[in-house]
Amino acid sequence: MKTRQQLASSKRWVIKIGSSLVTNDGSGLDTTAIKRWTEQIAQLRQQGKEILLVSSGAVAEGMVRLKWQNRPKALHELQAAAAVGQMGLVQAYESFFQQHNIVSAQILLTHDDLSDRRRYLNARSTLRSLLDLGVIPIINENDTVATDEIRFGDNDTLAALVANLVEADALIILTDQQGLFSEDPRKNPDAQFISTGQANDARLHKMASSSGGMLGQGGMSTKLSAAQRAARSGTRTLITNGRNNNALSDIIRGEETGTLLLPDTEPMAARKQWLAGHLKVSGQLTLDEGASKVLLTSGKSLLAVGVTSVSGNFIRGEMVSCINHQGKEIAHGLVNYNAIEAAKICGKSSNKIEAILGYVDEAELIHRDNMVLI
Per-residue HEC secondary structure of 256-291 comes to CCCEEEECCCCCCCHHHHHHHCCCCCCEEEEECHHH
Comparing CA positions, the residue from 190, 198, 247, 193 lying closest to residue 224 is 198
Tell whether 253 and 112 lie within a shared domain: yes
Task: Quote the pLDDT of residue 129.
Answer: 96
Domains of the chain: total = 2
Please compute the mean of the pLDDT values over residues 239-260 and round it to a whole number.
91
Domain CATH for 132: 3.40.1160.10
In a shared domain, residues 163 and 291: no
Which of 213, 243, 273 delimits the end of a domain?
273
Cα separation, 41 vs 93, in Å, equals 11
Question: Would you say residue 40 has pLDDT above 60?
Answer: yes
Spatial distance between the Cα atoms of 127 and 53, rounded to a whole number of angstroms: 11
Report how far Cα 301 is from the mean position of its chain's Cα atoms. Answer: 27
Residue 304 has pLDDT above 50, yes or no: yes
Average pLDDT over residues 194-219: 66
Mean pLDDT across the stretch 109-130? Answer: 87
| Residue 34 pLDDT exceeds 80 | yes
Instruction: Return the higher-pLDDT residue of 292 and 190.
Output: 292
pLDDT tens column, 140-169: 887 666 655 445 667 898 999 999 999 999
The pLDDT confidence band at residue 171, using thresholds 50, 70 and 90, is very high
CB 38 within 8 A of CB 97: yes
Listed residue (144, 75, 149) closest to 112, CA to CA: 149
Q: Is the pLDDT of residue 277 over 90?
A: no
pTM of the model: 0.81
State which of 247, 273, 299 marks the end of a domain. 273
Decide which of 273, 308, 328 is a domain's last residue: 273
**Model pLDDT, residue 313:** 93
Same structural domain, 328 and 206: no
Asked if the model's pLDDT at residue 244 lies above 80, the reply is yes
Query: What is the strand order of the sheet 12-17 is part of?
Result: 104-109, 136-141, 50-55, 12-17, 170-175, 236-241, 259-262, 196-198
CA-CA distances (angstroms) from residue 299 to 16, 78, 200, 289?
35, 43, 20, 15
> How confident is residue 339, by pLDDT bands cut at 50, 70 and 90?
very high
Domain boundaries, position 311: 281-373
Phi, psi of 239 (to 5 degrees): -100, 115
